[in-house]
Amino acid sequence: MRQFNEDNLTAAVVGRLKGTKDKRLREIMTAAVKHLHAFAREVQLTEEEWFEGIKFLTQVGQKCDDKRQEFILLSDVLGLSMMVVALNHKTAPGATEATVLGPFFAHGAKEYGYGADLREGATMKGEDVWVSGRVLSVDGKPVPNAVLDVWQAKADGIYDLQTGGEFELRGRVKANAKGEYAFKSYKPKFYSIPMDGPVGDMVKETGNHHMRPAHMHAIVSAPGYQQVITHVFVDGDPYLDGDAVFAVKNSLVGKYKKMSDAEAKKVGLPAGSVKLEWDFRLSPEAGVKARKKIAASDAIA
């Protein structure tokens, strides 16, 4: 067939996908082609505009390296990451809700036990915090031997990966046999998403703001349970209602409270430190088709 035009082109391209052996790939490619063509038709896309689009996508790719993942950032600010999370994590009642991974997870962080000090080697001080709690099953029973991968930005709102130094404020914290975990860190502060690349330019151009409310990230894994990729946000943060990547859930907002001097002393923190008590609740894995583990390709380092 020849003589393609705006009325028959979509069907022709979809027709050429019919031989795709992998059924799921065929389904995804077919829908992508249909939606892309519909988008071009809807906005009557000009050649100049599409060339601008191609230039933008090229710049996004060129900005990526082993430390920087501009495509994850693009997916995040377009709400696509949260859409995919929402489609794939229908949280069981009582389970900790999932939210975006973000571009700053890294494999290979140091392993710690109960009471770990994640401030070790930090190049910048913050407000000292004692984070403690339990990893529980949705039925309230302790989950033994869970691992919490935790990471957060430094006091200036920049992640260790962004400056290429040693790992900071991140670690793999093992819970004990009773599901209890605890670590020392700094209270997270709100920060800007990286604005020095094409995605930042796009955010500015669209008049959107670029702040993320203060949070720590956690991936909680335990044998026999569904892994959860989540955040704990800071109650009272001014950006909770305007997160640049749409990741806030009411159930993930935690209250940081002042510790008494005696409490702080007991865990080896200075007077005036704060604490966060936070339980994670996991769903059993049995019978659920879900991603089990974070894949190597999810990380940039």
Which residues contribute to the site for ligand BEZ (CB under 6 A)?
A: 73, 76, 100, 102-104, 193, 212, 245
Report the nearest approach of ligand BEZ to the CB of residue 227 (Å).
18
Report the nearest approach of ligand BEZ to the CB of residue 148 (Å).
16
Neighbours of 19 (CB within 10 A): 7
For ligand BEZ, give the closer residue by CB, 42 or 66.
66
For ligand BEZ, give the closer residue by CB, 30 or 162.
162
Measured at CB, which residue is nearest to ligand BEZ?
Answer: 102
For ligand BEZ, give the closer residue by CB, 104 or 280.
104
Contacts of 119 (CB under 8 A, 6+ apart): 128, 169, 184, 185, 186
Report the nearest approach of ligand BEZ to the CB of residue 169 (Å).
12
Give the whole-angstrom CA distance, residue 220 versus residue 282.
8
The residue written with tokens 């991140």 in the block is 170
Rg of the chain taking only CA atoms, in angstroms: 22
User: Strand, helix or coil at 153?
Assistant: coil
Give the whole-angstrom CA distance, residue 122 versus residue 128.
12
Report the nearest approach of ligand BEZ to the CB of residue 215 (Å).
6
The residue written with tokens 């919490």 in the block is 148
Report the nearest approach of ligand BEZ to the CB of residue 155 (Å).
15
For ligand BEZ, give the closer residue by CB, 137 or 227.
227
For ligand BEZ, give the closer residue by CB, 195 or 288.
195
Query: Are the C-beta atoms of residues 209 and 242 closer than 8 Å to each other?
Result: yes
